[in-house]
């Protein structure tokens, strides 16, 4: 899954988002990946998926906003399924990802 950092014009539909994926990120919109976009207010996201046909998922928050990465050095980020789930649920992604590494377990 790829997440578009910063904001995206939510007036874009499937064709506009496909063009953005292809031209701006040099990625193949026909790949088996999800491409996730957020609006300026961070209360709406769109997810573009290809499974032989294009799907466009849309979620709008009635209260609050998504914790969304700003456009910095990279315009796009690679996410795992669980990370996207945390993001969509509106939880703090960085809090969920901060975990102590367990090297060995002992049973007392």
Q: Which tens digits make up the pLDDT trace of 22-78?
A: 998 899 999 999 999 999 999 999 999 999 999 999 998 887 888 888 887 678 888
- Predicted pLDDT at 94: 47
Residue % of the chain over a pLDDT of 70: 81
Q: Which tens digits make up the pLDDT trace of 79-99?
A: 888 888 878 776 554 445 555
106 has a pLDDT exceeding 70:
no
11 has a pLDDT exceeding 70:
yes
Written in H, E and C, the secondary structure of the chain is CEEECCCCCCCCCHHHHHHHHHHHHCCCCCCCCEEEEECCCCCEEEEEEECCCEEEEEEECCCCCCCCCCCCCCCEEECCHHHHHHHHHCCCHHHHHCCCCCCCCCCC
């Amino acid at each position: 899954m790829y997440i578009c950092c910063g904001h995206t014009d939510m007036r874009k539909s499937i064709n506009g988002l496909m063009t953005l994926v292809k031209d701006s990120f040099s990625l193949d919109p026909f790949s088996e990946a999800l491409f996730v976009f957020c609006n300026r207010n961070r209360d709406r996201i769109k997810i573009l998926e290809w499974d032989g046909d294009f799907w466009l998922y849309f979620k709008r928050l009635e209260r609050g906003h998504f914790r969304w990465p700003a456009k910095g050095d990279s315009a796009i980020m690679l996410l795992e399924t669980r990370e996207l789930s945390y993001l969509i649920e509106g939880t703090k992604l960085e809090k969920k990802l901060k975990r102590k590494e367990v090297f060995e377990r002992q049973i007392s």
